[in-house]
Structure 1
Amino acid sequence: MNDNPSHDRAAEWPLDSVVAELRQVRHEWRKQQGRERDLGSRELPALHAVHEVVDDLCGILFPMRLGPSDLSKESEDYYVGHRLGHALTMLHGQVMLELNYRGQGVSQADHDRDARQRVRAFALLLPELRRQLDQDVVAAYRGDPAATCVDEILLCYPGIFAVIHHRIASVFYRSGLPIIARIVSEKAHSVTGIDIHPGATIGRQFFIDHGTGVVIGETAVIGDRVRLYQAVTLGAVRFSEDDAGGLKKGEARHPIVEDDVVIYAGATVLGRITIGRGSTIGGNVWLTRSVPPGSNITQATLRQTR
């Protein structure tokens, strides 16, 4: 008598033929992509591993707020040191995977040395990252009359959740680790509905209020003390093509938003235009031209200038 009825049921399905056909599809895809070389193991960083690293980093940066519920101030340094060691060790493994994936003709020893240098450099940036995030939290508290304390901002506001992840992702992106960076940013995107490309440059005291539907493109440049509301898009107005008809990569195609700008809900700002310092962009505005410092742009003013 078979004690495992699920095994009997599995025998009903055409497993062998499906597995063989899937193997063939993978082979065809890898051949098309020029990936026929056998790395012998996993090729890319793992989502769950990078997510675990980021969760650890959030607790390391804000141990008494985003760390474990039973943590005391007396054990704060021990917790930070213990989790930091764990997070950096895991991060090293994921960096190795990305370097291996991108590297051709480079030895494992060289990749290991490179990965250790990048992870060490990242660790040394954490104190400054915490200082930046403290300014973002204060900016959110000052910018929202409904906020009762800075701790509420840190614990509850999706905009701060997204900014924390962006600040981390941005370091990876600028370290030449775009896949890890994108995994980090998409983690925040999936939770909050706020889509910030890790390549975007964002200044100090940045605040996204409410947040759902905000999109910030790869080459956007945002100054200090900028405030965005929900459903704001800082996007591209068009995409250049190369001679083969493919989209060109890396061109500056997103807006520059100077210091002290406020962009209200539903505004769409497209192209490599400049929003001058101290300007206010009203709700639901569609803007594809630069505006000088101190501008106050509403749907009414746009109609008047046509």
Structure 2
Amino acid sequence: MEKTIPTIPELCDHVKITENSKHNQLPDIVKKMLSGWSTKECFDHISPVCIPSQEKIIDIALQARRIIFPGYFTTTKLHASNIEYYIGKETMDLYELVCEQITMAIRHDCRRNRRLCTNCEQESAKLALQFMEKLPEITATLAQDIRATLAGDPATKSPDEVIFCYPGLLATLVYRLAHELFLLEVPFVPRIMTEYAHSQTGIDIHPGAQIAPGFFIDHGTGIVIGETTIIGENVRIYQGVTLGALSLPRDAGEKLRSTKRHPTIENDVIIYANTTILGGTTTIGEGSVIGGNSWIIESVEQGSKVFLKKPELIVHHANGQKTHL
């Protein structure tokens, strides 16, 4: 049988591609980037000072949740003989993690604002302890939030369902942790926490907001609660609610930073879906009910019920008739 002699292939495509490579043009791009970072037009963090870790700050929130709700979010089987050891270890680990991230946050803030030394490690240890001392109070407040959820939502049958499943409780838990750090004036960390909850739940609560116990978020997607919002006890809000600021000027970042820009919601108020309430002087009085899709920029007195006028709906039937509802 005659053997087939293999032919010599043409020049390899890899060689052709390599000859056409544009790698040699990349150094010019790098130089332009470096030039941009040397101006005020761009932002960078080029420093030997480590920036806070988003991943570890999220770990702080999740580890605190394991402590606040023992047995719910761990594979460890907890019982009377090991609960103190488990909580003790988790608490020690959390304290060290909080110390570490607060230290990094303070160092970065000092570097960014060219401040004198603030003894960051000593200050971080103090602030971390103050945060840890708030955990029992946060736990008790979240218990009230859960009871409010059970009282207000017929769709849930147990606290376990609320703790495991409800995005509103996750967002509220992370907010309550972040709020304590905000009050301690810890840079960066509180906002990273609440933006994590925002990304997970669609609920955007600024850590500076003041929210009393018994807070119930139903469904939750699209809720926005601004920095200077004040919410009283036993308030219930539904998806799509915005508690925001009125239209702000372009230089509001400096001029209005310390100004109350967001509304006050008094005790026992219910705000239904897709309602927008704006303005720092706007107050929703105690016991009021705000119907869905409302737009409110003025205060509402106690015990009010606010609803939109019923819209006219037009139904075109298959037989050509038209009905107004």
How would you bin the TM-score normalised by the shorter chain? 0.7 to 0.9
Mapping of residues 67-86 of structure 1, within 5 Å:
68-73=74-79, 74-86=81-93
Per the TM alignment, residue 241 of structure 1 is displaced from its structure 2 partner at its CA by 5.1
CA contact (8 A) 1:195 1:215 kept: yes
Mapping of residues 15-164 of structure 1, within 5 Å:
18=26, 21-22=29-30, 25=33, 28-29=36-37, 31-32=39-40, 39-42=47-50, 44-66=51-73, 68-73=74-79, 74-103=81-110, 104-107=114-117, 110-164=119-173
Higher Rg of the two aligned structures? 2
- Secondary structure of the corresponding residue to residue 134 of structure 2: helix
Distance 1:292 1:31, change over 3 A: same
What amino acid maps onto 2:139 in structure 1? R
Q: 1:202 aligns with which of 204, 211, 224?
A: 211
Q: Alignment identity in percent? A: 34
Tell me the TM-score normalised to structure 1 length.
0.86
What amino acid maps onto 2:40 in structure 1? Q
Tell me the TM-score normalised to structure 2 length.
0.81
Mapping of residues 149-188 of structure 1, within 5 Å:
149-188=158-197
What amino acid maps onto 1:61 in structure 2? I
Count of residue pairs brought into register by the alignment: 289
Distance 1:209 1:34, change over 3 A: closer
CA contact (8 A) 1:207 1:228 kept: yes
Q: Over residues 234-260 of structure 1, what are the superposed CA-to-partner deviations in whole Å (9 max), with x where a residue is unaligned?
A: 0111214559x9663232111100000
Distance 1:27 1:289, change over 3 A: same
Q: Which has the higher helix share?
A: 1
Per the TM alignment, residue 112 of structure 1 is displaced from its structure 2 partner at its CA by 0.8
Unaligned stretches of 5+ in structure 2? 1-16, 311-325
Per the TM alignment, residue 32 of structure 1 is displaced from its structure 2 partner at its CA by 1.6
Q: Distance in 1 between matches of 2:171 and 2:303?
A: 28
Q: Distance in 1 between matches of 2:21 and 2:89?
A: 48
What amino acid maps onto 2:300 in structure 1? V
The root-mean-square deviation of aligned C-alpha atoms, in Å, is 2.7
Q: Over residues 81-135 of structure 1, what are the superposed CA-to-partner deviations in whole Å (9 max), with x where a residue is unaligned?
A: 1122222212211111111122234337x11111111001111111111011111
Q: Distance in 2 between matches of 1:11 and 1:121?
A: 63
Q: Over residues 129-186 of structure 1, what are the superposed CA-to-partner deviations in whole Å (9 max), with x where a residue is unaligned?
A: 1011111111111110111011111111111011000001111111112411011001
What amino acid maps onto 2:258 in structure 1? G
Distance 1:14 1:184, change over 3 A: farther
Q: Distance in 1 between matches of 2:156 and 2:295?
A: 30
